Structure 1
Amino acid sequence: MTSSDLLAGIPRPFLAPRQVLVGDGAAAEAGTALAAWSVPAGAVGVIADSAVAEFGIAEPLLQGLEAAGYRTHLFALPVGEPTLAAAQDALDFLRSMGPKAVVGIGGGSAMDVAKIAALAATTDKPVADFLGIDPEAEPGLPLVLVPTTSGTGAEVTRISMLADEQGRKVICSHPLLVPLLAVLDPELVVGLPPAVTAATGMDAMAHAVEAFLSRNRSPLSAQASLQAIRLLREWLPRAVARGSDMDARRATLYGAHQAGLALNAGVILGHSLAYTIANRKHLPHGVTCAIALPYCVAYNAGSELPGADDLALAITEGRSDSLDDAAVELRQLAERLGLPTSLADIGIPADEAREMAQECIHRYPRPANPRPFALDALTDLVAAMACGELPGSGLPGLQKNEGVNA
């Protein structure tokens, strides 16, 4: 891809871990890698999802850390979305032992808690003081992140998402959340059930597609997006159909990682729509993203976005350079994976369309979206999503370069 805007030299940050361990059994080598970064022997706090702790998924990691001279102390998170209270409990746990490093292992929940707890652990401040965009912070404890799903990309992003006491999403976004070391071990994801594989895989696809469409993309994030899309497009259906296929497991894990690298450019309308869905139905994030993503692409299909043909060709596996066709393919992919593709499928009526559009504009604005949010256009889009009728760029309001009309 050689679109002029990507070669113009506009300064953009591109964040990545200092080191990534990749390959079957890589989790067992994390301790050796940590020592190589001059992290001294001593206590290490390991923050894990409850299922990871309960079913022994973390054992290769723990044994490798112990063999490298570290004493591991395991903190199992409660089941469910990560909360401020759980993150504070994890932080208190870390402070009680004075660890030399922090390890997060699991899905996005465990890694997000590990990120913010590691950042805060060298201070006397509560977790709540680190919420917001680029809060005042100094480097925290050395951090290792080990995903056990193929979707969130949290092992490479600058974001920690939590829930407050009312269940509302709150965020810490800071470059210091990107870890020293990320570990991609396909053996840790081979046991994922098909439904989880499908949902987390579509979460990764949404990250890759939306980050490419973002006006904050860079040449590096755009290339990471395209590589992620190609890997996920080819291998995700295979991983869902046959979880023991190690080639498929490797490819989807690496694709999700590439999508996470791209994600530092930010997401756009698809995630705004996904959040409005989640506020009405408590579904896995990847499921809400799978419903919203084709409509996000359709909404932006009429915008003048350099490189849009490259995106469409990656999504359609070379069959079309049209974003309208790409939107159709994304919906067909979700259907093939057994995921819902309309609001009707999950019990949200069409008469909520305008309220959901307003929510996107006021609660989840996306200045980096190629086409500005407009109330009438978004209402039409959500109404189409309600009945599962995927529009092209000819949907009323999409041809206009409208501003927000709240």
Structure 2
Amino acid sequence: MADVSFSERNAAGEYWLLPEVLHGKDESDPTDFLGLDLLLSPAERHERDLVRQFVENELKPHTREWFRTKPPLRELAQLFGRHRMFGRLVGPAAQTPPAVVFGLQMLELEAGDTAFRQLVSTQDNLVMFALAEYGSPEQRAEWLPRLATGEAVGCFAMTEPDAGSDVAGMRTVARRDGRDWVLNGRKRWITNGVDADVAIVWAKTEEGIRGFVVPTRIRGFSAVDIADKVSMRHSSSTELGFSDVRLPETALLPLASGPRAPLSCTSEARYGILWGAAGAARDCFHAALRRSLERTQFGRPLAAFQLTQQRLAVMCAKVCHATMLAIHLGRLREQGRATAAQLSLGKLQNVQIGLEVAREARALHGGDGITMAFSPVRHMLNLEAVSTYEGTHEIHTLAVGRALTGIDAFR
């Protein structure tokens, strides 16, 4: 390094390599330490900034209250509809290719709270995707426009009390009765089921697993909120019951047959989840950084202690890792090259990162970190649920292992 001027030495007389020696001046931005905005187009950054402003101005002021009492979901859905939060992937508002823009939307929503991202994941990735991919023209025309505006709320009913990832183990059944179908069974942990206008319900039939479009006001349909949650408190989780629910032949999703159909929908949801987890991690890291700079102990800010800086550096690296992985998978998706196993790896990795960062950030807040005055504990609780739904940590580990080895180790 010719013509380098060192300006400081340490106690041993060795030279310190100052930031200005390395690159002129230290321009590192803690909110985008690696300059990942450079990976985005101006249009993508603009769309991202609109969602960030929406979250900051219209959602974050209510997060503490809603975590205690739950938000008015139907009003929230209509608010999301007015801000074009729904329909980016399918339906009348879809863009092409929307993958990274949609992902950035998920990141910003979950930086506010997981439930905000989950509302869009359920409406778009699960319900609208199922209708667009497997529904009839009549089903799409009836429901997609209303779901895109938030006038209607949908839910996706696959998980049961005794069958989650094991789709073949579901016990809900549909049998033919003349030209009709009769549906019986139970579903559990169904997001927004209490408020939904329509449910996409998966059931066993003599023809294999099939999907049905079920209006929730039909006779024999019941929905009970699961009230004693400590996680995802902004969001409604529901147990659905079907007691001799009679459906016309037109309720059947004509293009969905076998377990691949519902699993393809959950794979869509994993894409939104891996972006959202990066947003939760980012919000926790920023909260920890602010706290460490503002809080004084032993006459110095927490940020002045070496162990605090070590924690912050590790958190920063993890947030950058999660965000880069999300952007890369988004680009693959836009090229039509993202595989289900890659999305499993993304969900597995980013949710784990989100949990690790949330726990570290909570710890840096000390005793105050277990209060709702600060966001990390809320993200930590929510991410415990996210690590379970749309495939547990173990399920995605085995999905990646199968892709690597060609050996199915699920059984």
Which protein shows a greater Rg? Answer: 2
User: Which protein has the bigger helix share?
Assistant: 2
Query: Considering the TM-score relative to the shorter chain, is it more than 0.5?
Result: no
How does the TM-score come out when normalised to structure 1? 0.24
How does the TM-score come out when normalised to structure 2? 0.24
Q: Which structure is higher in RCO with an 8 Å CA cutoff and minimum separation 6? A: 2
